[in-house]
Amino acid sequence: MSANASERTWTVGELADELGVTTRTLRHYEAEGLLAPSRSGQNRVYTARDRARLRLILRGRRFGMTLAECREIVDMYDGAESSEMLQLKTLLGRLDEIIADLRRRQDDLRRTLREVQDTAELCRRRLTELEI
Amino acid sequence: MSANASERTWTVGELADELGVTTRTLRHYEAEGLLAPSRSGQNRVYTARDRARLRLILRGRRFGMTLAECREIVDMYDGAESSEMLQLKTLLGRLDEIIADLRRRQDDLRRTLREVQDTAELCRRRLTELEI
DNA sequence: CGCCTCCTTGACGTTAACGTCAACGTGAAT
DNA sequence: ATTCACGTTGACGTTAACGTCAAGGAGGCG
């Protein structure tokens, strides 16, 4: 497929630094089966693909997905290119459940954001009242 | 303000059942200072106001806010009616930070949702291919 | 050669957010 | 009068998601 030029790789330290986490976190994700970097001897070697996966995981974490949920989703990104009808169908069913769940969370977030914004607006009004 | 009719109240069990949590959760929230129901003797009595607070907290939890963050926000809903300039200004500053943070999370959620939807779409396409 | 830096694998510690007893009180029902 | 169903306060247990050592290996360099 590719004896290509863009074969940049990362060490644990580099990748952790770049994405603002610790190396411990990367090891933990690996132990939990979310990442599977290849090795050069003992040392972990992260490819651009690993890095992309990690970014997806971290993004999910920021709005409250558990590691298990993150893993399920990133695994599905890979499985979606399967060629077996049955697998694709179960996958699709699960994906639709996940989509519904994410929409609920999105709605919860939206409502909360609106209320916080309203509260800030209330503050501003009271301040301008007091300043006159 | 009101010697009003809509003075419905709840016991722990009732409120917990209605909002789909355990009584332990309510006690925990109280211990952490998120709720402060009044008492009738020993027993906790939750007002509509307490119930509203709780719903806000639970909503926040569903998209990854910690209890500490939830508490800060619900406390601000109350503080926003203050009459002291200094307090209002610090409050407003904090609220703007929180708004920025919520927007980041919203963006993270949106991107993730889109990707999951794309993946589902990919599944559907591969399925129709296979069905022909 | 010795030191430094970065890597490795354990293994135990910590924090948040509850779960899960135990032991007890209390008003209503049988 | 006792049995429930519900409430109360401790207090210890659990799970997730890492943090924090400790002990050691491998490559570079002055």
pLDDT in tens, B99-109: 999 999 999 99
Burial class (CB in 10 A: 0-12, 13-18, 19+), A122: middle
d(CA A77, CA B119): 6
CB proximity A11–strand C (7 Å threshold)? yes
Amino acid at B7: E
CB proximity A72–strand D (7 Å threshold)? no
For chain A, list residues with pLDDT below 50. Answer: 2
d(CA B20, CA B16): 6
* Cβ–Cβ below 8 Å for A120 and B73: no
CB proximity B28–strand D (7 Å threshold)? no
Q: Taking CA A55 as the corner, what is the angle to CA B70 and CA B96, rounded to the nearest 5 degrees?
A: 35
d(CA A109, CA B69): 13
- Give the closest residue to D26 (Cα–C1′): A42
Can you give the pTM of this predicted structure? 0.93
* Cβ–Cβ below 8 Å for A109 and B63: yes
Helix (H) or strand (E) holding A33: none
d(CA B19, CA A98): 22
Chain A to chain B, count of Cβ pairs less than 8 Å apart? 138
In chain B, whose CA is at the least distance from the CA of A62? B105
A125 to chain B, closest Cα gap in Å: 10
Contacts of B123 in chain A (CB under 8 A): 80, 88, 91-92, 95
Interface check B106 vs A, CB under 8 A: yes
Per-residue pLDDT of chain B (132 residues; tens, 9 = 90+): 545 556 899 999 999 999 999 999 999 999 999 999 999 999 999 999 999 999 999 999 999 999 999 999 999 999 999 999 999 999 999 999 999 999 999 999 999 999 999 999 999 999 999 987
